Amino acid sequence: MLIRSGTLDQQTAYTPPMSIWSPELEAMVNIQDLLGYVQLAILRSAGSNQGSHTPAARPKTAVDRLNVRVREAQHNDLVARLARLRAEADEAIAAGRLPEEVEMETIPGTGAVE
């Protein structure tokens, strides 16, 4: 079953709610995943390239949701910076300057030039 994410409007796989999650359910899901990987290993050892294993759905925690928000914020910041740099480059080209003459900045933590 697929649902739409409220933030990025992407289709994501169903995740069970935390309200029904229990240690017993966690153990059963772990066993299901392990058996799926064993089945896949048996198929692959027989020379088959068919088959795949998708881990069972687990609930999204507050940490998972926070990580998504952080990644979205970082992505939006990068998109805004690139848009600003694109506008500056377009202005420089319109003014007859070469892109090499435009001052470049380094993106903190990456070493990449923006």
CA distances in angstroms from 108 to 6, 62, 105, listed in the order given: 30, 28, 9
pLDDT digits (tens, 9 = 90+) for 8-54: 445 567 888 889 999 999 999 999 999 999 999 999 998 888 888 88
Q: How many CA atoms lie within 13 A of 51 on its CB side?
A: 15
pTM over 0.85? The answer is: no
Region of poorest pLDDT, from 3-17, 65-79, 81-95: 3-17
Question: CB under 8 Å to 70, separation ≥6 — which residues?
Answer: none
Structure tokens at 86: 């694109």
